[in-house]
């Protein structure tokens, strides 16, 4: 009898597990939803950081990075993809990508393409143990469009084996 109960229970547990997840954060009591599929074996998240701005800097070896600062007139959008790690004991097994950009707090519909994207300070980040690839990159090609409640980001390849190229979010 125990075998008959155990078998459906195992099936139920397997059916409930997923290799892909997406997470969104609240934006002033409105819920955002990531419409584009999250890449295989990863976790995707999206946040709208109110009253924040990006201070984009360059370090001593010409690598780009940013710091978030308090600014009541700005808002920062942050999309992250993080690959799930099967073996948690491996310290250098992590891989993640992110897209971050800034807008005026009272943004409405907008459309930026190619070099115009830099007016939003958009950066594409890769974080891994992969020499020559890890770090932030200024985005100078692609499209960033918000029309109604829909936000869409399309990027060309910026680094080798880039995972994030198309994002669609319902704000």
**145 has a pLDDT exceeding 90:** yes
Confidence band for 52, pLDDT divided at 50, 70 and 90:
very high
- State the pLDDT at residue 121: 98
pLDDT of 42 higher than 80: yes
> How does residue 85 score in pLDDT terms, banded at 50, 70 and 90?
confident
pLDDT digits (tens, 9 = 90+) for 54-76: 999 999 999 999 999 999 999 99
Instruction: In whole angstroms, give the CA distance from residue 43 to residue 68.
Output: 23
Does the pLDDT value for residue 169 go beyond 80?
Answer: yes
Is residue 61 within 8 Å of 41, Cβ to Cβ? no
pLDDT for residue 30 = 60
- pLDDT for 51 beyond 60: yes
Q: In degrees to the nearest 10, what's the CA dihedral of 84, 87, 92, 96?
A: 0
Torsion angle, alpha carbons of 122, 132, 98, 15, to 10: 160
Q: Where are the domains of the chain?
A: 20-84+92-170
For the cut 80, the answer to whether the pLDDT of residue 28 exceeds it is no
């Amino acid at each position: 009898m125990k075998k008959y109960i155990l078998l459906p229970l195992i099936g139920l547990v397997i059916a409930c597990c997923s290799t892909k997840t997406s997470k969104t954060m609240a934006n002033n009591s409105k819920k955002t939803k990531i419409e584009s599929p999250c890449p295989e074996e990863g976790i995707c998240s999206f946040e709208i950081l109110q009253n924040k701005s990006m201070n984009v800097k360059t370090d001593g070896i010409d690598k780009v990075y940013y710091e978030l600062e308090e600014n009541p007139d700005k808002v920062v959008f942050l999309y992250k993809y993080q690959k799930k790690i099967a073996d948690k004991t491996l310290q250098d097994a992590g891989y993640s990508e992110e897209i971050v950009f800034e807008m005026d707090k009272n943004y409405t519909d907008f459309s930026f393409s190619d070099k115009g994207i830099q007016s939003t300070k958009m950066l594409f980040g890769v974080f891994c143990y992969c020499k020559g690839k890890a770090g932030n990159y200024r985005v100078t090609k692609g499209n960033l469009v918000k029309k109604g409640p829909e936000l869409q980001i399309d990027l060309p390849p910026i680094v080798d084996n880039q995972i994030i190229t198309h994002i669609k979010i319902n704000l």
